[in-house]
Homo-oligomer: A and B are copies of this chain.
Amino acid sequence: MLGQFFSPKSVAVVGAAREPGKVGYGVLQNIIDSGFKGRIYPINPKADAVLGLQCYSSIKAVRGKVDLAVLAIPRAAVLSTVAECGRKGVQGIIVLTAGFREVGPEGAALEKEVLSVARQYGIRLLGPNSLGLIDTHTPVNASFAAGMPVRGEISFMSQSGALCTAILDWALKEDLGFAKFISLGNKADVDEINLLDAWAEDPHTRVIISYLEGIGEGRKFMQAARAVTKKKPVVMVKSGVTAAGSRAVSSHTGSLAGSESAYNAAFKQSGVIRARSVEDLFNLSVAFSFQPLPRDSRLAIVTNAGGPGIIATDEAERQGLRLATFARSTIDKLRASLTSTANVYNPIDVIGDARSDRYRVAVDAALADPGVDALVVILTPQAMTEIEATANLVVELSRQYGKTVLASFMGGVRVEPGVRILREGSVPNYEFPEEAVASLGAMYEQRRWIEKPVEQPMSFPVRKEQARRLLVSAAADKRQTLGDVEARGVLTAYGFKVPTAMLARSAEQAIGFAKQIGYPVVLKVVSPEILHKSDVGGVVVGLQNDEEVGDAYETILARVRRFMPKAVVWGVEVQEMVTSGKETIIGLVKDPQFGHMLMFGLGGIYVEVLKDVSFRITPLTLSDAREMISQIRSYPLLAGVRGEKPVDIDAIVDALLRLSQLAEDFPQISELDINPLRVRERGQGAVAVDCRLAFAPDGLVEQVGASGRSPLQEQVAAS
């Protein structure tokens, strides 16, 4: 895929320049220097030859086929050149030229036009405002970057061209190999999703790393990422602070669900490893491209110094790795061969005066132990230390055993020759032991992701049509929110338990319903015009007997008459008062990038003050639902502490999955809060006590019920 970019047979450089320092010179020079084996066509109407190659006055003047055109021309000429490329049958264009969307609305309009012409001809377009791309295996360097990395198995995409140049320069210094190196520019056409798809199948790419500032189509990204992350690790830096309050919010979920939460959830659900920094990105890329993944989390450490061993142990704990417990035979072997003051338990301390022979014994014994999945070898340059010999044996044994081996040869000048041997032997070396252990932590995370079974979202039998009718009727009323009764109707249609409720039209009827339901009850005014019932005194809770119900009925009507004299009142609802069960909140919001996202948390202050919530993009799998419950800090309150019985966690899982299904069925829903969802003891289920739902009426067909009553009235009557 995208073969026109990565393995073209012929490349034209439109705007090929004769003056060193110009972009059109640099890119041509790079293509030539990269050893590109196909045809190269410099295009420049004012020159006969550039850099020793025959020059053409235009794309159409080229006689042969042109697979890829690189545009290094003024902005004004881009549109017509793309059209010309189209007519010539070019399949891919890289627009190096800047001055498009990144400079404002006028540039954005031009970018759109350029894209539209490209699409018309079926041309794929990289950029504009791209630095170009490099493929070390083809090889081709169609960029104006200085230098080309050595061949390797890491592929890098970046939304920042400048970061490409910096990282390229850094790779040259560190001698780190890359397979593909691509500057995405403005992503008018070719984007991160296309590249994930392409690199999933690329045999030269073993690790994908990327720097992104934003993701265009969240859902497609997740789909593409899921397909590749099970095969090869994808590590990303996602930068960009969310402007606070950039989104209108009207619910708890909305106010907590920032774009960061969405990215974190999306990355987690699609197996993308999020690097905290550019440095991390590189530490991890080296680990993944050099070494096999550990089978499990049991780490052995070999060191010639106690301190760094402790530092590594501390980091292992932070990373959730376990220090391996050695087999009896391993300990005996170590004790027999190491000096008496050595520590033969994990971390193995071969002591400061160790030469390479002691390292060999320790590394060999650790790797041979069946209870060890990975090894970190630490070396400090002491008087007796044989740095090169040790590096050689680490490389040799890492190959022999095939287990994950990382090194931290600490220091600078003296350790340098050892570090080189390690690098050439594909053992990643880190200046500090924390980095080695942290990289191993990410490798173990990838191992767990790979072994996690692929799940399909769960699907329940629901009454979708019932929910749709309620939304349609509200849309017909020109509303974008559902009332209590309606929202409850939607939830029951999707299998939620809600409090029993009946609509009374007189005090007597209210008392009768209250008796049926059983005390205590709640009374609430029902009116399509009153959204905030409590504000007008339209809700009375905790009613214990007939008299209180009768009084409350009249009080509510009197208050409503006073505060909202013109409101149409359909009646007063008598509702079961649910007081048992633990309060939780389930919310649904719509993220601009990723669409529907579910939130879970414990009710009240846990959400509002402690912000102890978790997020997942819909649709949810069973394990998504389970994980989002167990990852909140206050989870022990659900699982049971201080002698309390555990709540019905399966009922929460069920509620999350049903809400996920509702979200998938109705993209129109913009926000939904079930607050509280009261969760009873295990086996006793959960009740959605209160629910708010907002939606955009897009695509909902307006219709009126056959009875002639408004659908809301029908629903009320049916409830």
Contacts A279-B435, A341-B103, A380-B163; is A169 near B412 (CB within 8 Å)?
yes
Residues of chain B lying within 8 A (CB to CB) of residue A306: 160, 162, 213
Contacts A160-B308, A278-B311, A305-B162; is A170 near B412 (CB within 8 Å)?
yes
CA A384 – CA B162 in complex, angstroms? 12
Residues of chain B lying within 8 A (CB to CB) of residue A121: none
Report 24 cross-chain contacts, Cβ distance below 8 Å, ordered by A residue. Answer: A21-B383, A99-B341, A147-B413, A147-B414, A162-B305, A162-B307, A165-B382, A166-B410, A166-B411, A169-B411, A169-B415, A170-B412, A171-B412, A172-B412, A213-B307, A213-B310, A278-B311, A278-B432, A279-B431, A279-B432, A279-B435, A605-B634, A605-B642, A608-B642
Contact yes or no, B165 A307, CB < 8 A:
no
CA A457 – CA B648 in complex, angstroms? 50
Contacts A279-B435, A381-B165; is A160 near B610 (CB within 8 Å)?
no
Residues of chain B lying within 8 A (CB to CB) of residue A454: none
Chain A interface size band reads 35 or more
Smallest CB-CB separation from A103: which chain B residue? B341
Min C-beta distance of A656 to chain B, whole Å = 22
CA A147 – CA B383 in complex, angstroms? 11
Of residues 162 to 187 in A, which have CB atoms within 8 Å of B's CB atoms? 162-163, 165-174
CA A676 – CA B657 in complex, angstroms? 40
Asked whether any CB of chain B lies closer than 8 Å to the CB of A295, the reply is no
Q: Which one, B162, B277, B304, B608, contacts A432 given CB within 8 A?
A: B277
Min C-beta distance of A6 to chain B, whole Å = 23
Nearest first, the 9 A-B pairs at minimum CB distance are A173-B412, A160-B307, A162-B305, A169-B411, A166-B410, A162-B380, A170-B412, A166-B380, A166-B411
CA A173 – CA B439 in complex, angstroms? 24
Of residues 293 to 345 in A, which have CB atoms within 8 Å of B's CB atoms? 304-308, 310-311, 313-314, 317, 341
Smallest CB-CB separation from A313: which chain B residue? B241
Asked whether any CB of chain B lies closer than 8 Å to the CB of A683, the reply is no
Residues of chain B lying within 8 A (CB to CB) of residue A352: 161-162
Min C-beta distance of A373 to chain B, whole Å = 20
CA A186 – CA B410 in complex, angstroms? 22
Contact yes or no, B310 A239, CB < 8 A:
yes
CA A433 – CA B239 in complex, angstroms? 12
Contact yes or no, B307 A163, CB < 8 A:
yes
Residues of chain B lying within 8 A (CB to CB) of residue A642: 605, 608
Of residues 146 to 204 in A, which have CB atoms within 8 Å of B's CB atoms? 146-147, 158-163, 165-174
Asked whether any CB of chain B lies closer than 8 Å to the CB of A485, the reply is no
Asked whether any CB of chain B lies closer than 8 Å to the CB of A26, the reply is yes
Contact yes or no, B211 A307, CB < 8 A:
yes
Contact yes or no, B314 A381, CB < 8 A:
no
Binding site for B on A (CB under 8 A): 21, 23, 26, 99, 102-103, 144, 146-147, 158-163, 165-174, 211, 213, 237, 239-241, 277-279, 304-308, 310-311, 313-314, 317, 341, 352, 380-384, 410-416, 431-435, 605, 608-610, 612, 633-634, 636-637, 641-642
CA A102 – CA B163 in complex, angstroms? 48
Contact yes or no, A383 B26, CB < 8 A:
yes
Smallest CB-CB separation from A307: which chain B residue? B160
Residues of chain B lying within 8 A (CB to CB) of residue A174: 412
Residues of chain B lying within 8 A (CB to CB) of residue A165: 380-382, 411
Contact yes or no, B633 A239, CB < 8 A:
no
Min C-beta distance of A63 to chain B, whole Å = 32
Contacts A241-B313, A314-B240; is A431 near B170 (CB within 8 Å)?
yes
Smallest CB-CB separation from A171: which chain B residue? B412
Contacts A146-B414, A341-B103; is A169 near B381 (CB within 8 Å)?
yes
Contact yes or no, A144 B412, CB < 8 A:
no
Contact yes or no, B314 A239, CB < 8 A:
yes
Contact yes or no, B610 A610, CB < 8 A:
yes
Q: Which one, B160, B241, B432, contacts A317 given CB within 8 A?
A: B241
Contact yes or no, B26 A605, CB < 8 A:
no
Contacts A278-B434, A279-B435; is A239 near B414 (CB within 8 Å)?
no
A99-B341, A605-B642, A609-B634 given; 10 more Cβ-contact pairs under 8 Å = A146-B381, A146-B414, A160-B307, A165-B411, A166-B308, A168-B411, A169-B415, A174-B412, A279-B431, A609-B637
CA A610 – CA B307 in complex, angstroms? 32
Which one of A102, A144, A412, A431 has the highest number of Cβ atoms from chain B below 10 Å of its Cβ? A412
CA A678 – CA B684 in complex, angstroms? 35
Min C-beta distance of A428 to chain B, whole Å = 16
Contacts A163-B307, A169-B412; is A605 near B381 (CB within 8 Å)?
no
Which one of A279, A383, A433 has the highest number of Cβ atoms from chain B below 10 Å of its Cβ? A383
Q: Which one, B308, B313, B383, B434, contacts A23 given CB within 8 A?
A: B383
Smallest CB-CB separation from A315: which chain B residue? B277
Smallest CB-CB separation from A416: which chain B residue? B173
Which one of A23, A170, A313 has the highest number of Cβ atoms from chain B below 10 Å of its Cβ? A170
Smallest CB-CB separation from A408: which chain B residue? B166
CA A329 – CA B383 in complex, angstroms? 60
Contact yes or no, B311 A239, CB < 8 A:
yes
CA A99 – CA B352 in complex, angstroms? 12
Residues of chain B lying within 8 A (CB to CB) of residue A636: 609
Residues of chain B lying within 8 A (CB to CB) of residue A146: 381, 383, 414
Min C-beta distance of A385 to chain B, whole Å = 8
Residues of chain B lying within 8 A (CB to CB) of residue A415: 166, 169
Min C-beta distance of A99 to chain B, whole Å = 8
Residues of chain B lying within 8 A (CB to CB) of residue A168: 411
CA A310 – CA B158 in complex, angstroms? 14
Residues of chain B lying within 8 A (CB to CB) of residue A311: 237, 239, 277-278
Smallest CB-CB separation from A168: which chain B residue? B411
Contact yes or no, A641 B609, CB < 8 A:
yes
CA A237 – CA B380 in complex, angstroms? 17
Min C-beta distance of A384 to chain B, whole Å = 8
